[in-house]
Amino acid sequence: MKKILVSAAATLWLLIGIANASDPPELKEGLWSVHTQSIDNPGSNKSDGTYTLCRNHAFDQSGLAIAKSVKGCTTVSESFQGGKGSKETRCVAAGSVIASKETYTYQGDTSFHSESHATFTPALGGVSETTMIVDQKYLGSCPAGAQPGDRTNADGSVTHIGKH
């Protein structure tokens, strides 16, 4: 339960950073490879994962709208220029203040890299800080029958994030 709560909070602040960035390019529609690495402290607990995600602009915009509507979050600072950006946010969730700093780089509309660091005060689920690195790359068209929001995990299982 603790890992799910911390993971949800980390995902939330990552989405908020992307959602509020000033004029990043729209990402290419189709199948994307997403690789995540995170380290939770105390304990240097590492996790690593890869999945594919079928996306289109409507799916991306829907996710960004949800992230922008999260109550309890404020932007401390943000900038975006020449394919590179940074963002600092502060959120209050589950009784913790989440202070995050993120840097990200777009390679056109086919590659995205972000590095984020968040602190949780007080600790959330026993975690006081998280560092997350996310690399996303465009692979091509979505497989036949796949819909925007379909996430295929490394074990082959599919999670339907979008509307079906």
Q: For residue 120, give its domain range.
A: 2-23+30-141
CA distances (Å), 33 to each of 10, 54, 90, 132, 136, in order? Answer: 19, 9, 29, 16, 6
- pTM of the model as a whole: 0.81
Q: How many domains does the chain have?
A: 1
Q: Would residue 130 count as lying in a domain? A: yes
pLDDT: is 75 or 40 the higher one? Answer: 40
Residue 60's CATH number: 2.40.128
Asked whether residue 147 carries a pLDDT value surpassing 70, the answer given is: yes
Asked whether residue 9 carries a pLDDT value surpassing 70, the answer given is: no
Which whole number is the average pLDDT over 55-65? Answer: 90
Q: Would residue 137 count as lying in a domain? A: yes
pLDDT band at 65 (very low <50, low <70, confident <90, very high): confident
Asked whether residue 135 carries a pLDDT value surpassing 80, the answer given is: yes
pLDDT band at 27 (very low <50, low <70, confident <90, very high): very high
Average pLDDT, the chain: 87
Q: Would residue 18 count as lying in a domain? A: yes
CA distance 119 to 148: 32
pLDDT (0 to 100) of residue 12? 45
Q: Would residue 155 count as lying in a domain? A: no
pLDDT (0 to 100) of residue 22? 55
Q: Would residue 81 count as lying in a domain? A: yes
Which whole number is the average pLDDT over 26-34? Answer: 96
Assign 3-class secondary structure to 93-131.
ECCEEEEEEEEEEECCCCEEEEEEEEEEEEEECCEEEEE
Q: Would residue 101 count as lying in a domain? A: yes
Q: Would residue 161 count as lying in a domain? A: no
Q: Would residue 159 count as lying in a domain? A: no
